[in-house]
Amino acid sequence: MKAMLRALVRNKPADYLEVRLEETHLTHIQFMGPALQNLAESVAFGGNVRALVKGGWGFVSFNRLEDLDRQVDLAIAQARQVAAAIESGATLAPVDPIEDTVPLPPGVDPGALSLQAKKDLLESYNAAILAFGPPVVSSQIRYRDIHSRILYANSDGTCLEQERLDVAANLVAVARRNGLTQIGFFGMGGKAGYGVLQDRADEVTQICETARDSLAAPVVRGGEYTVILDPRLAGVFAHEAFGHLSEADNVYENPRLGEIMTLGRRFGEPLLNIYDSGREEGLQGYLKYDDEGVPTRKTYLIRDGLLVGRLHSRETAGRMGEPVTGSARALDYRFPPIPRMRTTAIEAGDASFDEMLEGVELGVYAKGAYGGQTAGEMFTFTATEGFMIRGGRLAERVRDVTLTGNVFATLKNIDRTGRDYTVEGSAGGCGKGEQNPLPCSSGSPHIRIQKVIVGGKGS
Amino acid sequence: MTGDFRPERVLEKALARCQAAEVFHRRSVRTPVEFENNRLKQVRTAYSDGLALRVIAAGRVGFSTTTKPGDEEGLVDRALSAAAGGGEARFSFPGPSRLAVDADRFHHAEVAELGLAAMIETGRDFLQRTVAVEPAALAGARLEKEVREVRIVNSSGLDLTYRRTGFMAGFGIELIEGENLLNVWEFRASSDYPAAEIAELQENALEQFRLGRKNVALTTGRYPVILAPHAGRDLLGPFRDCLNGQAVERGISPWGNRLGETLFDPAVHLEDNPLLAGGPLSAPFDDEGWPAQPSPLVRAGMLEGFYLDLKSAAGLGRTSTGNGTRPGLESIPSPSLSNVLMAPGQDSYLDLIGGIKLGLFVVHLMGAWAGNLLAGEVNGNVVLGYRIEDGAIVGRVKDCMLSVNAFDALNRGLRGLSRETGWSMNYRLPYIALDDVAISTKA
């Protein structure tokens, strides 16, 4: 098969050509309350061809391997059509060709748990949520694992065979009283097998308590606050607030953003260090090679408060004359690779939690993450739990805490980074354009940020 | 062609080993044309072809999907082994029934035959118009067409096929001045080719761009607010989640036992209509083979109905409303809305603006999906919104959050609905004017 792919991309009338074939075995398990909503094992099989001709891209994806030559011709014809409409276009950063086979990490066995055993484990968590008792009235569990074998070859001589296993689940507890519904949420995920699912009884209890206690909590009052984020929410903050803006496809053809995002520019206090890495084994963001066959790196985005790097595809690196980072990722064979995050993290600092609380007369402690979103310089992220901080101490619980910020202002307002550090994943993943959800991880210590806008209609 | 999927053969194989089965076959060709940063970037063709099999064996449901040619035996094996541990089946597959429209009613030749050159030309037009307005702006566009064929066969004798087309046009502009980023975008999805609306869509994007050039402040407080259709879709997020038959069945919707009660302003009418001519999600039957039908959800403020698939309908002792949907081939059917229509009001949206002394006009919210929707709470960053002063838009308001309870907003808080409507994905909505909405901004 590899030889066939190599031959397919060789000596074709294109400046660059790549082909990817993929077979993925997926498991989906979903509980909605006591009912098992879905139990399924499925197969996704397909491939794509991507061609670059005189700066224009053509891309074809398919499920059938017959007529691969015809798919190559179509991708090239499309690329030509683009080239005819533009004066200049993509050039790729040069990389050394690589031939490699990447098996699953030692000890990771996709067959280690049968479908029934996976279901039994999740059912035990589901039963524990439902057994918590009133006001917890319902549950939701979504589990999926994705086991892929990917063959990849390009016209620069790279040829890779890779195997990946991504395992993830989200647990939700739903509490209801007097017409009000509140939920507790926890996500988990990893690339080191099924161990990430084990021993989550504490988290199950925690989400039930959060859902229960939030029912009695008032809605947070909107306004500008000093906030402390727990590591989970701070990880999502790093992802939304800075990770997306660091994806170089935002900036590579955007000279004005390029001026703002000049390497060496100060974005935060010297205590701030943010990186994105494909090399952290076991995490959902781990991958040895990206989907252009480029070895992944640990890429500092902010070091000592200064902008030092960004996340590149070969196209964005080529245009900007910067080193490749191995950040070009595709959700699967149906999509072309684009710059994406892998494991995005704020590095631990030296503050204790008590030191963070010090001096905060009125603030919000926000914990856990439902999710977030970014557009340009603005971002939002939503906590699963919130507490007021009054007079330097944690005070009453509040609910419905959504935070928003502006990347240029908010990063500079991070004035404490904690000495703890947690990294996690989830079954949610990251969305960009139509490619959603891509497995990513985010990590952080507790952090404190001044002047964050918290939404809320409470008074 | 050799190796083509044959749903009837899969059904036969499955029925040799279980009592009931359903095979869903979807084939499509999608062609996106993408412009970025003032130039054509990429042309794509995505062929997809796959099967989904749902079986009921010994009263339990099993499910599996495949896009691998020659995997039909494997598909049957996996579905049956899932059924061994699967959930209890309380529904049965529907038999043949009359469709309200021709099977190919939503297949439009003008989309199927739309040429790449024409799509490229439309995108290029927009780039040129943008650069003429502001040479420093970066314009993007996306034109996309799809032709899809769906077939469903099941053990109750159902054998249905339809073809439909899909079209999408999106136009965006970005301008950076100093550290100020302005992003505006408009998009429209349909099953036909909305030729007359494309120029209007481009004009709307350019108009948003002109309005957004000047930034003005707004202090934290409660204001009258007008939600344009895109932001209105976020306001309806809690309705989508609470009217979902699955949420009702699980007892987590606040409205499970409130059908027939007037919970909202009498001006509020909401309907799901999969038969709408040209609608982005129009189809003659749903993804479980149930005939498509309009479903009233809220009529004159009264809670009228939920939207259901086979499973949630059975759980509630009702019949499906034809909302059984597979978001992706690999998804098991669940209830989902098709074309959501909110009835317009009497006033022009300009009159709604004209009636506001100090308030906010919101075009796009961001992140509002992440709130506590089952409680009606909508919290979003106002990613594109304008200050209204003395009845006129005076400039863009940035760095602020809008927080509103959607249930209160469409009850006591409703100020008015415009007579104009606009599309936001599969929602067609009027401009929604609300009173007393919490806006949080920089101190």
Distance of alpha carbon B160 from alpha carbon A162, whole angstroms: 40
**Model confidence over B126-137: pLDDT tens digits?**
999 999 999 999
**Pick from A44, A89, A254: CB nearest B330:** A44
Both tokens of A323, joined, read: 């080193």
Distance of alpha carbon A192 from alpha carbon A187, whole angstroms: 16
What average pLDDT does the segment B84-88 reach? 96
Best of B27, B33, B39 to mutate (most A CBs within 10 Å, chain A): B39
Is it the case that residue B2 has pLDDT exceeding 50? Answer: no
Is it the case that residue B154 has pLDDT exceeding 80? Answer: yes
Q: How many CB atoms lie within 10 A of CB B146?
A: 19
Higher pLDDT, A157 or B251: A157
Chain B hits for A43, CB-CB cut-off 8 Å, are 64-68, 71, 74-75, 78
Percent over 90 (pLDDT), chain B:
96
Chain B hits for A453, CB-CB cut-off 8 Å, are 399-401, 440-442
Burial class (CB in 10 A: 0-12, 13-18, 19+), A89: buried
Tell me the domains of chain B and their CATH numbers: 7-210 (3.30.2290.10), 213-236+344-441 (no CATH)
* Cβ contact B65–A40 (<8 Å): yes
- For residue B305, the Cα-to-chain-centroid distance in whole angstroms is 19
> Could you give phi then psi for residue B362, rounded to 5 degrees?
-110, 120
Chain B hits for A245, CB-CB cut-off 8 Å, are none
| pLDDT at res. A428 | 84
How far A30 CA sits from the closest chain B CA (Å)? 10
Both tokens of B92, joined, read: 């049965």
| pLDDT at res. A88 | 86
Question: Hey, which residues 40-79 in chain A have their CB within 8 Å of chain B?
Answer: 40-46, 56-66, 74, 78-79
Q: Are B106 and B283 in contact (CB under 8 A)?
A: yes
Distance of alpha carbon A166 from alpha carbon B369, whole angstroms: 25
Domain boundaries, chain A: 2-215, 223-455
Is it the case that residue B1 has pLDDT exceeding 50? Answer: no
Best of B44, B71, B222, B402 to mutate (most A CBs within 10 Å, chain A): B44
Distance of alpha carbon B309 from alpha carbon B324, whole angstroms: 4
Distance of alpha carbon B100 from alpha carbon A2, whole angstroms: 51
CATH of domain A2-215: 3.30.2290.10
**Mean pLDDT of all residues in chain B?**
96
| pLDDT at res. A320 | 97
**Pick from B1, B74, B375: CB nearest A182:** B375
Question: Hey, which residues 5-44 in chain A have their CB within 8 Å of chain B?
Answer: 23, 26, 28, 30, 32-33, 35-44
Q: Nearest-CA residue of chain B relative to A181?
A: B375
Q: Nearest-CA residue of chain A relative to B3?
A: A64
Residue bearing tokens 């710059």: A339
Which residues does chain A have with pLDDT short of 70? 458-459
**Model confidence over A180-205: pLDDT tens digits?**
889 999 999 999 999 999 999 999 99
User: A352 CB near a chain B CB, below 8 Å?
Assistant: no
**Model confidence over B371-427: pLDDT tens digits?**
889 999 999 999 999 999 999 999 999 999 999 999 999 999 999 999 999 999 999
CB pairs under 8 A between A and B: 290
